[in-house]
């Protein structure tokens, strides 16, 4: 989605632009591998040469700088195979991929969000690797993120990471407000507890608010992130229930909308919240204008640390007006006695096919390459740079020899959040998912913007969403509680 690292990493994207690479297929070996990510290339491998193409954005700050080494390491593992990587910026990634897909010659592998899988499945351009991925490969991955790479009965690649959309706090401000953040990291908090906590974080100078308790980016479509992470903690982990009824007609949805207005009306959040974009939100956090920020991502700890180093060195490139900040990972509050459910984003290496059916040998070679990128040293290096948790056994093993300057309390907090991440829903039919996205784009986002701007009431928005949902899914296709 705005995938989390795009804004931070896009400035580092390579300016090199290679021509689009058509998938090249020839006879190759089988897909035998091992969870170490260092499979023996002689294990049933053929000597037939083959090329695997990959379209990859700047997943982390130094990710694209490592392309040459990644290609060399893959070739050393499989001497008959060549991994040819085409770099893309986050800004042009989708356009490049769609251009190649529409031409019928997509890359063998593309790094995209798992939420984009259904789009390319509909177009018939993804390659189901269920029958080729070996048990060693499958068993290397944590189960939850791997499920996000599925649609129906098909597996369409391997996940790179599971990132949790959490909140982030300024340790000094949290402690000044008397908030036991370590307890919150371990045990979570209710909406009522959160509401009172952020009130304590507000600092005023006369009638002017010098520091808010909580700021979340809500400009344009970013508002859907805010609403989506809240409603997951109010008994609606997905847009559809297990029996495929549209969930956002539940009375709990209205209660969350009321809470959104309360936090602004309390003065804990800016009245101009609908105009705060992601950049401004982060700037407000680094300059001490808010105690808690959201959407908080693991990589933000790294960004805060780097800005702290610049301040300490009196480096002029530090954010103007910024202060030293110790970043603390915090969970989203839960509502109405419902269990906490973390909002995950899973991106990864999705496997594509062209108009022609790939040969079994080429298909096996593509799987080898996708697994190589998603596991072992490559995964460990990238995920450490992003400060995200490792989701493969081989990645965790490779990471043991790598140094990362990360707050151990935050590491533990993310593990807690991962333990109750919203499960993948490959069972939701593509058609239903498309209708839900349409309703979100045409009704939910504009109405939510109006709610934030105090132009409509929570009740108005709830009625609009419910009426639109009934029209789209029918009376029997929505939750009526």
Helices (H) and strands (E) in the chain, counts: 20, 11
- Would you say residue 189 lies in a domain? yes
Size of the chain, expressed as the number of residues it contains: 481
pLDDT in single tens digits along all 481 residues of the chain: 444 444 344 433 333 333 333 333 333 333 333 333 444 443 344 579 999 999 999 998 889 999 999 999 999 999 999 999 999 998 889 899 999 999 999 999 999 999 889 889 888 999 999 999 999 999 999 999 999 999 988 999 999 999 899 999 999 999 999 999 999 999 999 999 999 999 999 999 998 999 999 999 998 767 888 999 999 999 999 999 999 999 999 999 999 999 999 999 999 999 999 999 988 999 999 999 999 999 988 889 989 999 999 999 998 899 999 999 999 999 999 999 999 999 998 999 999 998 888 999 999 999 999 999 999 999 999 999 998 889 999 999 999 999 888 899 998 999 899 899 999 898 998 889 888 988 998 999 999 999 999 999 999 999 999 999 999 999 999 999 9
Contacts of 306 (CB under 8 A, 6+ apart): none
pLDDT of residue 444: 96
DSSP annotation of 346 reads E
- Would you say residue 470 lies in a domain? no
Cα dist from 372 to 116, 133, 184, 281, 394, whole Å: 22, 12, 37, 36, 10
- Would you say residue 406 lies in a domain? yes
pLDDT of residue 20: 34
Closest CA to 269 of 163, 185, 167, 165: 167
Question: Is 316 in the same domain as 383?
Answer: no
Residue ending a domain, among 315, 343, 371, is: 343
- Would you say residue 474 lies in a domain? no
DSSP annotation of 274 reads G
Task: Give the gyration radius of the chain's Cα atoms.
Answer: 23
pLDDT of residue 46: 59
Question: Is 234 in the same domain as 311?
Answer: yes
Question: Is 12 in the same domain as 159?
Answer: yes
**What is the 3 state secondary structure string of 90-130?**
HHHHHHHHHHHHHCCCCCCEEEEEHHHHHHHHHCCCECCCC
* CB burial string 81-114: b at 16+ within 10 A, e below: bbbbbbbbbbeebeebbeebbeeebbbbbbbbbb
- Would you say residue 410 lies in a domain? yes
Residue ending a domain, among 298, 325, 343, is: 343
Question: Is 172 in the same domain as 74?
Answer: no
Question: Is 210 in the same domain as 268?
Answer: yes
The token pair that represents 424 in the structure block:
């993948």
Q: How far apart are CA 376 and CA 336, in angstroms?
A: 42
- Would you say residue 477 lies in a domain? no
In this structure, how many other beta carbons lie within 10 angstroms of the beta carbon of residue 256? 23
The domain containing residue 273 runs over which residues?
A: 164-343
- Would you say residue 473 lies in a domain? no
Phi, psi of 100 (to 5 degrees): -70, -40
Question: Is 49 in the same domain as 134?
Answer: yes
pLDDT of residue 220: 72
Question: Is 373 in the same domain as 411?
Answer: yes
- Would you say residue 437 lies in a domain? no
CB-CB contact of 147 with 348 (8 Å): no
pLDDT of residue 31: 35
pLDDT of residue 28: 36
Residue pLDDT, tens place only, 90-147: 888 989 999 999 999 999 999 999 988 988 988 899 999 999 999 999 999 999 999 9
Question: Is 175 in the same domain as 119?
Answer: no
CB-CB contact of 127 with 366 (8 Å): yes
Number of domains comprising the chain: 2
The token pair that represents 204 in the structure block:
């005023």
DSSP string, 315-338: -TTSPTT-----EEEEPPPB-TTP
Question: Is 193 in the same domain as 137?
Answer: no
Q: How far apart are CA 277 and CA 295, in angstroms?
A: 11
Give the CATH number, domain containing residue 271.
3.40.190.10
- DSSP reduced 3-state for 289: coil
Residue pLDDT, tens place only, 213-250: 999 999 876 788 899 999 999 999 999 999 999 999 99
Closest CA to 24 of 107, 103, 86: 107
Q: How far apart are CA 128 and CA 125, in angstroms?
A: 10
């Amino acid at each position: 989605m705005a995938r989390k690292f795009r804004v931070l990493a896009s400035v580092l994207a390579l300016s090199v632009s290679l021509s689009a690479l058509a998938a090249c297929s020839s006879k190759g070996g089988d897909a035998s591998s091992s969870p170490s990510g260092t499979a023996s290339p002689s294990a049933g491998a053929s000597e037939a040469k083959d090329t695997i193409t990959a379209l990859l954005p700047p997943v982390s700050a130094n990710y694209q700088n490592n392309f040459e080494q990644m290609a060399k390491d893959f070739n050393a593992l499989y001497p008959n195979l060549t991994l040819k990587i085409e770099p893309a910026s986050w800004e042009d990634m989708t356009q490049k991929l769609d251009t190649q897909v529409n031409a019928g010659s997509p890359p063998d592998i593309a790094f995209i969000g798992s939420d984009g899988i259904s789009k390319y499945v509909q177009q018939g351009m993804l390659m189901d690797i269920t029958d080729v991925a070996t048990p060693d490969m499958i068993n290397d991955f944590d189960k939850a993120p791997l499920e996000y790479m599925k649609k129906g009965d098909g597996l369409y690649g391997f996940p790179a990471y599971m990132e949790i959309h959490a909140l982030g706090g300024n340790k000094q401000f949290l402690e000044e407000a008397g908030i036991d953040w370590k307890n919150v990291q371990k045990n979570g908090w209710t909406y009522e507890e959160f509401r009172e906590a952020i009130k304590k974080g507000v600092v005023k100078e006369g009638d002017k608010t010098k520091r808010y308790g909580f700021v979340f980016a809500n400009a344009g479509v970013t508002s859907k992130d805010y609403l989506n992470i809240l409603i997951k903690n109010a008994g609606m982990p997905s847009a559809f229930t297990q029996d495929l009824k549209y969930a956002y007609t539940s009375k709990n949805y209205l209660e969350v909308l009321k809470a959104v207005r309360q936090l602004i009306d309390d003065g804990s959040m800016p009245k101009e919240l609908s105009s705060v974009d992601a950049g401004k939100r982060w700037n407000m956090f680094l300059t001490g204008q808010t105690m808690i920020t959201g959407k908080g991502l693991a990589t933000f700890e790294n960004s805060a640390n780097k800005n702290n180093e610049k301040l300490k060195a009196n480096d002029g490139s530090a954010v103007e007006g910024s202060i030293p900040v110790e970043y603390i990972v915090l969970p989203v509050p839960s509502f109405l006695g419902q269990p906490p459910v973390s909002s995950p984003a899973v991106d990864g290496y999705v496997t594509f096919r062209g108009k022609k059916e790939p040969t079994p040998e080429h298909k096996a070679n593509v799987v080898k390459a996708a697994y190589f990128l998603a596991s072992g040293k490559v995964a460990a290096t990238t995920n450490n740079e992003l400060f995200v948790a490792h989701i493969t056994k081989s990645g965790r093993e490779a990471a043991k020899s790598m140094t990362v300057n990360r707050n151990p309390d935050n590491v533990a907090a993310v593990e807690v959040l991962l333990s109750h991440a919203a499960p993948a829903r490959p069972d939701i039919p593509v058609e239903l998912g498309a209708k839900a996205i349409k309703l979100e784009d045409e009704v939910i986002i504009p109405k939510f913007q109006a709610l934030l701007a105090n132009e409509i009431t929570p009740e108005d928005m709830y009625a609009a969403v419910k009426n639109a949902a009934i029209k789209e899914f029918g009376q029997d296709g929505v939750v009526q509680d």
